[in-house]
Amino acid sequence: MPSSWLRTAGEPAWIMGVLNCTPDSFSDGGNFVVDTVNAGAGIDINAAVQHALMMRDQGAVMIDVGGESTRPGANPVSVDEELARVMPVIRALSSYNVNISIDTTKAEVMRQAVAAGASMINDVSALSDDPDALSVVADTGVDVCLMHKQGMPKTMQDNPAYRDVVSEVKDYLGMRIEACLQAGISETSILIDPGIGFGKRLGDNLALIASIEAFKRAFGLPVLMGVSRKSFLGMITGSDAQAREIETAAAVSACIFNGCDGVRVHDVASQSKAVAVGSALRDAHLGLS
């Protein structure tokens, strides 16, 4: 049975909305942080939940909740701090029957988030940073997105280098997929993400976007692309992170045209239009329109 996350021809690519419960994420850090600690590590739970519900109403089929910034230069946080940031929000969202993804590399955060209602794990380390992560996914049976990164967020953009970025990312994801299968994770539960901006130069990011079809041919798995507001777009146009929605729309449409199944974005209302255009262009390219 094919994965439910593969885009169906004639339908738009699906959207994952970003909900960062952090003070330091690169473009929206601090949006839901308050000065007091009455709402779980200073998180304004009501504001976070209302933003998530708005994204769902605008077309997001999955809300990706994160409590640790993975932007270039970010410092790690403890398990307890991450749990304090995300768990009140996940519990609240679960009461609204929202599809929740937990954006974490920590097995304990994964375990508690799934118990509270998360149905997907989005791990920028492809379940490699925490030795217990594979077993958590296997035991719970939730979906998992495996992402490629080179290095750790604190230093990953210091001097990234590849001989052939597409082949190296493909080889890495292939190894992580095999590790998942060996751990008892169902193939239909796996999504992949080439990791735009995670230890990549401008040319690396562009090459990966242009080669999405190669990942689809290699694995036959759903591809999720996260290009929203990222610095490579600013390198092209000079725009600051908060002013990159037009650039994001161009990249989102290109990703879908090149074969991705879903996109992870901050501004769902704006990017749903780019998704519609990119999906129509992809169908026309395949002779399906």
Report if residue 235 sits inside a domain: no
pLDDT at 86 over 80: yes
Overall domain count for the chain: 2
Range of the domain at 200: 124-225
Same domain, 196 and 139: yes
- Residues with a catalytic annotation lie at 230, 264
Same domain, 101 and 55: yes
Give the Cβ contact number of residue 237 at 10 Å. 11
Residue ranges with strand state E in 45-110: 62-66, 100-103
Report if residue 167 sits inside a domain: yes
pLDDT tens-digit series, residues 29-59: 445 544 334 444 467 888 899 999 999 999 9
pLDDT tens-digit series, residues 186-227: 999 999 999 999 999 999 999 999 999 999 999 999 999 999
Q: Which two tokens stand for residue 45?
A: 């739970």
CATH code of the domain containing 139: 3.20.20.20
- pTM of structure: 0.92
Report if residue 159 sits inside a domain: yes
The identity of residue 261, as a single letter, is: D
Report if residue 8 sits inside a domain: no
Report if residue 268 sits inside a domain: no
Closest CA to 247 of 224, 270, 269: 270
Same domain, 143 and 111: no
Same domain, 94 and 139: no
Q: Which two tokens stand for residue 110?
A: 């994964």
Closest CA to 199 of 234, 222, 231, 225: 231
